[in-house]
Structure 1
Amino acid sequence: MSNRNPKRIDVLLVEDDAGDVELTKEGLLAAKMLVNLHVVVDGEKAMQFLRKEPPYTNAIRPDIILLDLNMPRKNGRETLKEIKADSALRSIPVVVLTTSAAETDIVSCYDLGANCYITKPVGFEAFTKVVSVIEEFWFTIVKMPPKEERPVVSLKS
């Protein structure tokens, strides 16, 4: 029996490879998820999106972030560290979805607060299965905090 919520899911995909963006879009469609997919090409754009800075002043807080590691400007590790250090953003689940299977990358991402680390599978069918499992786990099994905007808490005294 499925507990699937018919609500639309907001996914922020942080990915610089156009082919991987298309594969992700197709995988989400094949998994029959109701998704608003927001795509940015690097960590700097991701942080602008998440903080609603221009040109993303109307951005919606994502339910989940799919984060590639190897990108220009600000890479995935730097972006992950910044997200998890921000009290207004740290509760958003971050799934690292990357081609790297290097143990050092896996360990460093978990040390920085990644909620999950997945090596991108090769081929459409395998990728679709991974996307379906992500959807099933994060939006059917896991209990998520409310999506409302979280206030920014100042640590200054």
Structure 2
Amino acid sequence: MQTLNQEATHVMLADDDEDDYYVFSLAVAEVPVKVLLTRAEDGEKLMRLLDEKLPDILFLDLQMPIKDGHACLREIRADKRFDKLPIVIYSSLEDLKNIEMCYREGANLYSIKPSSLGDLTAILERILLVDWKKMLYFPTFSQFVVRAS
């Protein structure tokens, strides 16, 4: 767990939905990790922001305008500058086809958007307590999807 004198973890959320961003920001405020949260509302803005400042971890929605999350994931993983960037897919899509595609394309984890703030807080706590700077976690497929319980 981080203490107040430690640097904040820079979390970037790429998601066009205002309500999802608001709930995500509420959940981030509840985790025992100091977080600086930034947002990209679409895939093109995400790619511009990544060129400016790399976050410590990226939460990537698949359904975004202009450039969707799948296209962003492929572009990020094709660029060596982003090899150490942890990417958590943060999506309402629960189908196996999308989950398998994200796994194959190099996402680190897949989190299905939960229906409650408490579940989201629990998921974020588990993900943000990993020391991503010391290790880049690529789980087996059976461990790839993160759930609250």
* TM bucket, shorter chain: 0.7 to 0.9
The correspondence for 1:69, drawn from 28, 50, 62, is 62
The aligned runs of 1:1-157 (5 Å cut-off) are 2=1, 4=2, 6-52=6-52, 60-139=53-132, 143-144=134-135
Rounded Cα–Cα distance in structure 2 between residues aligned with 1:42 and 1:90: 21
Tell me the amino acid that sits aligned with residue 143 of structure 1. K
Q: TM-score, normalised by structure 2?
A: 0.84
Deviation at 1:138, TM superposition (A): 4.3
1:77-114 deviations in Å (ceiling 9; x for gaps) = 00000000001112100000111111000000011110
Structure 1 segments unaligned to the other structure (5+ residues): 53-59, 146-157
> Conserved in 1, the CA contact under 8 Å of 2:13 and 2:60?
yes
Deviation at 1:144, TM superposition (A): 3.8
> Conserved in 1, the CA contact under 8 Å of 2:88 and 2:107?
yes
Rounded Cα–Cα distance in structure 2 between residues aligned with 1:91 and 1:32: 24
Rounded Cα–Cα distance in structure 2 between residues aligned with 1:138 and 1:98: 23
Rounded Cα–Cα distance in structure 2 between residues aligned with 1:36 and 1:8: 6
Q: Secondary structure at the match of 1:80?
A: helix
Q: Secondary structure at the match of 2:120?
A: helix
Q: TM-score, normalised by structure 1?
A: 0.80
Larger Rg computed on CA atoms: 1
CA RMSD of aligned residues (A): 1.6
Deviation at 1:35, TM superposition (A): 1.0
Tell me the amino acid that sits aligned with residue 22 of structure 2. E
